[in-house]
Every structure is written in structure tokens, then in C-alpha cells.
Amino acid sequence: MKQRLIGAAVLIALAVIFVPMFLSGSPPKTETVTENLAIPPAPEREFQTRVVPTENGKPPAVSAPVAEHVTPAGGDKVATVDAGTNPRLAAEVPYSETPGTAPAAPRPTAAAIKPAETAAARPVPERAAPAASSTGRYAVHLGIFANSANADALVAGAKKQGLTAYTESAEVDGKPATRVRLGPYEDRSTAEAARLKLQKADPKLKGSVVEIAAAAAATQKADAPAAALPANRAGGWAVQLGAFKSQDEANKLLAKAKGAGLPSFVDSTGQGAEKLWRVRLGPEPDRAGSEKLRDQAKQKLTITGMIVTVP
């Protein structure tokens, strides 16, 4: 029984392998056709090489047409053929006019150049120096000098530039000194223009624009009069408790005033060594209100302040 099963399996395997081969048949045959391609021979041409000599960059003269002599194969007679002008030579461009080269632009004459040089050499007139005003509120602070001779030399140099300079008495560390300023000027922009003009003449002089009214208020020793603030000018009134060179000292007094319930603020004036921090009460819309604040400060802080105007 076992042998029969093995034989049957072998037969089935053979059938699976060979039966599809008989049923499918042979594959189609492909035919290969070879064709000969006849390539024609290259045409016979006669090439001539000519050397054209040049002399001093001039094109050679074109010679007259040359007559070719052709001898016929069947006789002794000679036939003359006029070849005419060579079209290649006739189409060539003369040597003096090379293709692709644009004609040179005409050179400008001396008469055309002269006006431009004259305009460039003409100096540009300088602007007039800013005008000072006796009622101005701004000035240019140039420095404080212990030696009055140095201050006078700076004033003379500024006047050479057409600027108005003046000196003021000052005090530095308890010693007398001289302050040099430009102006006064009506507005800050005019003062800035004067500062730039002087700096252009001497780059070492930087300078700074200061407000004269603010500086005077920082150093004043008496109350501002009622007419110090005109009716047509915006501003108010305040009570100045003190002016300090140290911002920390000013902040200490500010904290003390706020602790006492007084409306107070700190502002600054001046620049550099002249900068001061001012402690003030207010501001108030009228002078009477500032007087009440001063009385309160005297009672609570034991400080008698000054009545000043604020912008």
C-alpha cells in the first residue's frame, strides 16, 4: 500500500511538471532582417588657400578678376571663362571698421569742462551765526574755569566764529570760578545750532544746551514774585525744598516728604558737573496753593521751602 502511494505521488509530480509544457506549445520565433544602408561618397571639392599680406594696417588692394583657362578634352582650342569678382572678398568688412566696435564718442572740449571746474572751485557760503536775544531762555554751557584767562580765551574764540559769548561768576568747592556760555537764545533749536557751529570750528568743545530759567530757579534764594508767571503762559507753582548734587540725597528727602503726606516730586537741571536734583512740592495751579504747601512743609518737616514756578 505504501509503495502504491509513493508511485501515485511521483506520477502526480511528473504530470504537474510536463503537462503544462505540452499544452503551451513552442514560443513564437522572431525573425531578424538585415538591411544594407548605402552611404553616398562625400562630394569632391577643390579648396584654395590664400594668404593676404597687410602693410601698415591697410587692406590690400583688390586685384582685377583673374581669367581661368579651361582646356577642352576634345580639341586644341582654349576657352576663356571670366570668374568675376569673388563674392567672399566683396562681403568682407574693411580693416578700419571692425564689426562690433562702436564709434568713439567725441572728447569734450576745454570750453565745456571749464564751467564745471569753476562751479566746483567756488566756495559755499557759510550760514550766519544764530542770533542771541537778551530775553532768551536757553544758553550753551561751555565749561567752568578756575583760571579766568582760560575763560577769556574761550570767549574770544567763540566771538571769532560770530557767536555771542559771556562769562558768569560761579563757585566750585567753595572757590571762585568763571562760567562760560553762549547766548542767550529764544529757543532750544537755536541754541543747538550755535553749539554745533562752535563744535565744527573746534571739535574739542562739546558744550551742552541748558535752560537759563531752570538754572536760576535751582540757585535762587528768594521766593518767585507773583509776576514771575504771566497769565498767557502755561505753567504752575511749586515749593522747592532743596537742590542736591547727589540723586540719593534728593530721593531721601522725597521719601520723607511723601511720608508726611505732601505731594512731592524730583526733577533735574543742568548737565555734567552742574547737574542738580531738586525736591519740590506740588505743583499747584496758583501761588496761594503753593504758599499753603510751604506752611505744611514747615510744620511737618521743619523745612522752609521757596516758592518757584514750574513749566
Same domain, yes or no: 204 and 268: no
Select from 211, 242, 274 the last residue of a domain: 211
- Asked whether residue 306 is domain-assigned, the answer is yes
Q: Average per-residue pLDDT in the chain?
A: 74
200 and 238 in a single domain? The answer is: no
CATH for 147: 3.30.70.1070
Percent of residues, the chain, with pLDDT higher than 70: 63
pLDDT (tens digit per residue) in 167-209: 888 777 668 888 899 988 888 899 999 999 998 988 888 888 8
State pLDDT tens for residues 71-108. Answer: 444 445 444 545 444 544 444 444 444 444 555 555 65
Mean pLDDT of 152-160: 91
- Of all residues in the chain, the percent with pLDDT exceeding 90 is 19
Domain endpoint, select from 211, 242, 265: 211
pLDDT confidence of residue 108:
55
Top-confidence residue, 213 or 295:
295
68 occurs within a structural domain:
no
pLDDT given for residue 210 in this prediction: 84
Residue 171 and residue 238 in one domain:
no
- What is the domain count for the chain? 2
Domain encompassing residue 287: 220-310
pLDDT of residue 261: 93
Query: pLDDT for 49-61, tens place per residue?
Result: 777 776 665 555 5
Q: Does some domain include residue 230?
A: yes
Residue 275 and residue 293 in one domain: yes
DSSP-derived secondary structure for the chain: -HHHHHHHHHHHHHHHHHHHHHHH-PPPPPP-------PPPPPP----------BTTBPPPPPPPPEEEE--TTSS--EEEE--S-HHHHTSPPTTS-TTPPPPPPPPPHHHHHHHHHHHHSPPPPPPPPPP-TT-SEEEEEEEESSHHHHHHHHHHHHHTT--EEEEEEEETTEEEEEEEEEEESSHHHHHHHHHHHHHH-TT---EEEEHHHHHHHH--SPPPGGGS-TTS--EEEEEEEEES-HHHHHHHHHHHHHTT--EEEEEES-GGG-EEEEEEEEESSHHHHHHHHHHHHHHT----EEEEE-
Q: Please give the average per-residue pLDDT across 152-169, as a whole number.
A: 90
Among candidate residues 187, 211, 235, the one where a domain is terminated: 211
Q: What is the pTM of this model?
A: 0.36
**Are 241 and 286 contained in the same domain?**
yes
**Residue 92 has what pLDDT?**
46
